[in-house]
Amino acid sequence: MNRRPLQLDDQALDALISKAMGDGAVAARNGDGRPGLLELDDLSPECEVERDLATFAAACCSDWREPVPAALRSKLDAAAAGWVAASRAASALPQKTAAPARSDDLRGPIPITSGRQQAAQRRSGQWSRLWAIAATLALAVVVGSRAWSSGSAPTQATTDAKLAALRAVGDVVEWAWSAGPDATGQAVTGSVVWSASRQEGYMCFKGLASNDPRAEQYQLWIFDARRDERYPVHGGVFDAPRGSGELVVPIDPRLRVEDLAAFVVTVERPGGVWVSDRSRISAIAKKPA
Amino acid sequence: MPDSILQRVAAGDSAAIKDCLDRYSGLVWSLTRRFATPSEAEDAVQEIFLDVWKSAARFDPTVASEATFIAMIARRRLIDRRRRSSRQVGTGPELHDVPEREVRDLAAASELGEDVAAAVQALESLRPDQQRVLRLSIYQGLSHEKIAESTGIPLGTVKTHVRRGLIRLREILSGQAEGADVSQEEAS
C-alpha cells in the first residue's frame, strides 16, 4: 500500500484533522447523521487523513489480541449467523438489473469515478438488498442485547420468579447491603443474592434513592479476589425509578467472577463508566468475615 | 482469487464472517471501549461489524490494511454515536487515565498490517508527551480543546503534536523517512 505525503500546509492539514476527529464533517456528507460509507475507498485528502487517524487508532490497540467478553462474542456469532442467513436468502432472490437503492443506502452524488470504484458501486446494488434483509435479522440480535440495561429490563414478576428459583440453588450466597457514603444510599436496606456456579445474581433494594437517568445512573461493580482490586468487574447499569418500593435488579457480570469479595454500587454518568473514580458510593455488600 | 478476509466476505464466503470476528473483534472491542459507555458498547460493536460486512466490497488492499479499513468504519460509527449521545445527555468524552508511554509490541502490530506497524514506528519516534497527546486525540477521541484543557498543554502545541504524528506516518509509509527524530524537531 502506498500513502504519499499529503501536499497540504499546516493550516489545511489541521482543518482536515479536526474534521476527521468528528466535528460533524463526516456525517454531514450524508446529511442524516449517519457516516458515509461511500467514501471508505475515497482517495481525497480528507479521507486520507481520516484513514491515517484510523491506522493510528489501530496501532494504539495493544490489547487487540485479547478475546472479547464471552457474552459479546455470543451476540456477535448470532449477528453473523443472521448475516449469513440473509446472504443465502438474498442469493436465492431473482436478480434485478436496476434495483432502486434504499433510502438509507446510496445517498447523494457519488464522488468517485475510478473503474474500481465504479465496480464497487455496482456491487453495492446487490449488497443493498442483502443489507436490507440482514439489517432486519440483525436488529433482533441488537435489540436482544439490550436486555441487560435498565431500559428493557425483564418484568418485575419474571425477575421475582427467577430470584426465587435462584435462591433454591445450593451454592447461593446472600449478603446484606450497607449504606455507602453517598446520600443516595443512606436509607438503603436489602441484600444481594449470587450463585457462583450459575454466574447469576440479583440485587434487592429498599430505600435506594430514585435517580434521573438523564443526569446519572447507578452502576454495579463486582470485586473478585483473584483480580486486580483497581479493576472490578462491571455488573450493569440500572435505575431506581421514583416510588419503586422494593427494587430487584438482575446482575449482568461482563466477566466471569471466580472468587467473590464484594458488591459495590456507585453513581455514574448516564451509560456508566469503564473505570469509576469511586467518588459516589451508594451501597456496599461485603463477604462476611 | 480473493484471499483477504474482507475480500472473502465480499465474495459471499460465509466462513469468512467468522474469520472476521475471530481476527478483528478484539480490535473493534478495544476501540469501542475507549469511545462508548459500558451500556452502549456491545450494541456499538455489533453495529460496526454489520457495517464492516456490508462494506467489505469497498476494501482495497492497495490503499490500506484490513485493520485500518475496519478501524475507519469503527471510528465513524463511534463518533456518530458519541455525537448523538452528547446531544441527548449533554456530556462529552472524558479524559481517562493514560500513561505517557505504553509498551508496544511491533510484532503484534505487524500482524494487523504494514501501515499499522508503520504507525507504531511513527508513535515510537515521538516524545512520550507527544505520544500521549496523539493517543488521547486519536484513540480516545478527545477534541484538541479538551486535551489542552485537561493536560495544560497549549492548544497550538496539541495540534502540532497530532499533525507531526500524521506527517511522520506518511513519511514512513512512503519510504521518505530519513531517520529524523520528530521529537527533536518539536523541541527546537
Output helix, strand, coil percentages for chain B, rounded to the nearest 5: 70, 0, 30
Would the pLDDT of B8 be above 90?
yes
Q: What is the pLDDT of residue B185?
A: 46
Give Cα separations from A73 to A5, A145, B16 (angstroms): 39, 11, 16
Inter-chain touch B115–A55, beta carbons under 8 Å: yes
In tens digits, what is the pLDDT along chain A, a chain of 289 residues?
Answer: 667 777 788 888 888 887 777 654 444 444 444 444 445 666 677 788 888 889 989 988 888 888 898 889 999 999 999 988 887 777 765 544 433 333 333 222 223 233 444 444 445 555 555 555 555 445 444 444 443 444 445 566 777 788 888 888 888 999 999 999 999 999 999 999 999 998 999 999 999 999 999 899 999 999 999 888 888 888 989 999 998 788 999 998 878 898 999 999 999 988 888 888 899 999 999 998 8
Q: Considering only CB atoms, which chain A residues are within 8 Å of B172?
A: none
Query: Which of A235, A39, A63 lies closest to A120 in space, CA to CA?
Result: A39
Q: Does A92 touch chain B (CB under 8 A)?
A: no
Q: What is the pLDDT of residue A266?
A: 96
Distance CA A109, CA A30 (A): 10
Inter-chain touch A138–B115, beta carbons under 8 Å: no
**What is the end-to-end Cα distance of chain B in Å, rounded?**
51
Which alpha helices (H) appear in B13-154, and where do they start and end? 14-35, 38-55, 66-89, 106-112, 114-124, 128-134, 144-151
- What burial class does residue B173 get, using C-beta atoms within 10 Å of its C-beta: 0-12 exposed, 13-18 middle, 19+ buried? buried
Q: What is the pLDDT of residue B92?
A: 47
Best residue in A9, A18, A29, A53 for a mutation probing chain B (most B CBs within 10 Å): A53
Q: Which one is predicted more confidently, B51 or A98?
A: B51
For residue B99, count other CB atoms closer than 10 A to its CB. 10
* A263: β partners: A222, A285
Distance CA B105, CA B107 (A): 5
Q: Considering only CB atoms, which chain A residues are within 8 Å of B54?
A: 37, 127, 130-131, 134
Output helix, strand, coil percentages for chain A, rounded to the nearest 5: 40, 20, 45
The residue type found at B82 is: R
Shortest distance, CA B125 to any CA of chain A (angstroms): 13
Distance CA B142, CA A11 (A): 20
Inter-chain touch B38–A274, beta carbons under 8 Å: yes
Q: How far is CA A230 from the centre of its chain?
A: 22
ipTM for the complex?
0.86
